[in-house]
Amino acid sequence: MRRRLALVFVALAVMLAVGFLVPLARSVKSQAELRTLTGAQSDARGAATALAAVVSTTGRSPALEDAAYIIGSFETENIVILMPDDMKIGRGVPDLDLRSIAKDGSIIADVEGGVIAVVPINFDDDSSAVVATYVQDSDLREGVATSWLILAALGLIVVIGSVPIADRLAASLIKPVKGLSNAALKWAGGDLSARVEPSGPREIAESGQAFNLLAERLTELLAAERERVADLSHRLRTPLAALRLQAESTKDANHRNALIADIANLEGEVTALIEDLRKLPDEQSTIADLSTVVEKRMGFWRIVASAQDRELSVITTSEEPILVSSPDAEVLTALDNLVQNVLAHTPEGTGFSVTVLDDPPSLVVNDEGEGLSSPNVFDRGSTTGESSGIGLDIVRKIAEASGGEVRIGEGPGANIIVRFGMPNNN
C-alpha cells in the first residue's frame, strides 16, 4: 500500500509538471516567434522612416547611395529596399513581388521558408518604395530548443524530487495504520495490553484513539466477567463441603471412598479454576515450576489421604525450581488425575507417594496396590470395568504437548512416570 500511495503522489507530480511545463513551452515558442517578428518589422519601419526623412530633407527622390547607406546602418543582412524604379538594394530577401505584397500596407506575410515584413513608402511625386525584411523559419525558433531542454530538465528534477517526498508522505500514512493493525493482531493473539500510539492524519489518529478506548473497555469487561466466574466458582465450595459430609456418612465403605474421591477431585478442579481465572491473560505462562505446583497441591491431597487412612509421602529431588513447558493448570490436571487414579483403584488405607524429579523433570506417582491391570491404560477408551481410561489419557496428552512422555515404571504397585518437556527444548 505504501508503494501504491507513493506512485499516486508521483503520478500527480508528473501530471502537474506536464500541465505546467507544456503550456510554458508553447508560450516560450510563441514569445520567441513574436520577438523575432517584432524585430524584423521594427527594422523595416526604421529603414522606411530613414528613407522618408532623406526625401523630406533633400526634396528629391532617394538615390541608390542613400538606400545603401540606410541598409548598412542596420545589423541584419536580410533587408532590401525596392526603389521607385523597381531596383532592389540589399540582399537576403527572396525574390518576390514586393509591391503586390505591400499593396495592403505594412504587413507581415508568410512566404516559403520563412516570414517577410514589408513597409511601403509613398512620396509626393506619386512614386513609391518598399522596404522588406526577411526572417527564416530557423530564426523564428532560435533559442526555443534550448529553452525546452531546460524546461524538460526542470520537470525531471521535480518528478525525481517528488519520489522521496511521496515515499515519506506515504510512510506517514501507512505507519499509524500498520501500528493499528499490529495492535489488533496482538489482541487477536491474546495480548490484552496491546495499545496504539495515535498519530498521522486526524481520521487515522481518531481510529487509534477509538481502538484504545475499545481495548480498555473490553479489558474491563473481561476482568469483571472473570471475577464473576471466579466468585461463582468460589461459592461452589460450600455445596461441595456439604456433599463431602453427606458422603462421609455413607455406610458402604467402597461407595463412601468413591464419593469422597470424586468430590475431592471436583474440589481440586474448582480450586484450579479459581486460580486460573484470577490471573489475567498476560499473567498466564506456559512455563511452570513443577516442584512448587506439586507442593501447593499436595497440601489438599494430604487431607484426603489422611481421611482414608492412607500414608502419603511427597519427595522433591531438588531445592532449585524445576521448570517445565506446561502451564500451572495443566500440571495440576495431570497431578490430580494421577492421584485420583490411585484413590479410585486401590483399597482404603493403601499408601502412595508423589515424587518430583529434576533430571529430566518428571512427576512420579507410585502406590502400594496391586499394580496396573493393563499396559494400555493411557489409551482413551481403555477400561478395567471401573474406569473409562479418560483421566490417564488426559495425562498422556498433557505430557506430550509439553514435549515429554508418559511411561510405566517398575514396582510392586502402580508406578506412573510423567516426563515433562523443558522450556529450552521448545
Domain ranges of the chain: 2-142, 146-223, 285-425
Residue 290's Cβ-side half-sphere holds a number of Cα atoms within 13 Å equal to 33
**Chain mean pLDDT for the chain:** 80
**Looking at the predicted structure, is the pLDDT value of residue 195 above 90?**
no
Mean per-residue pLDDT, 190-216: 84
Residue 338 class from Cβ within 10 Å (0-12 exposed, 13-18 middle, 19+ buried)?
buried
Tell me how far apart the alpha carbons of residues 285 and 270 are, in angstroms, rounded to a whole number.
Answer: 20
**Looking at the predicted structure, is the pLDDT value of residue 418 above 90?**
yes
pLDDT confidence tier of residue 406, bands split at 50, 70 and 90: very high
**Looking at the predicted structure, is the pLDDT value of residue 111 above 80?**
yes
pLDDT confidence tier of residue 387, bands split at 50, 70 and 90: very low
**Looking at the predicted structure, is the pLDDT value of residue 361 above 80?**
yes
pLDDT of residue 426: 43
23 vs 2, more confident: 23
| pLDDT tens per residue across span 170-181 | 777 778 888 888
pLDDT of residue 285: 57
pLDDT confidence tier of residue 95, bands split at 50, 70 and 90: confident
CATH code for residues 285-425? 3.30.565.10
Architecture of the domain defined by 2-142:
2-Layer Sandwich (3.30)
Q: Name the most confidently modeled range: 3-12, 150-159, 307-316, 390-399.
A: 307-316
Q: Name the most confidently modeled range: 42-46, 198-202, 377-381.
A: 42-46
**Looking at the predicted structure, is the pLDDT value of residue 6 above 60?**
yes
Pairing state between β 352-358 and 312-316? parallel
pLDDT confidence tier of residue 395, bands split at 50, 70 and 90: confident
415 vs 424, more confident: 415
pLDDT of residue 311: 92
Mean per-residue pLDDT, 120-132: 84
Query: Dihedral through CA 134, CA 138, CA 142, CA 146, nearest 10?
Result: 180
Mean per-residue pLDDT, 138-167: 80
pLDDT of residue 43: 85
pLDDT confidence tier of residue 351, bands split at 50, 70 and 90: very high
**Looking at the predicted structure, is the pLDDT value of residue 385 above 50?**
no
Query: Dihedral through CA 296, CA 302, CA 307, CA 308, nearest 10?
Result: 130
pLDDT of residue 411: 73
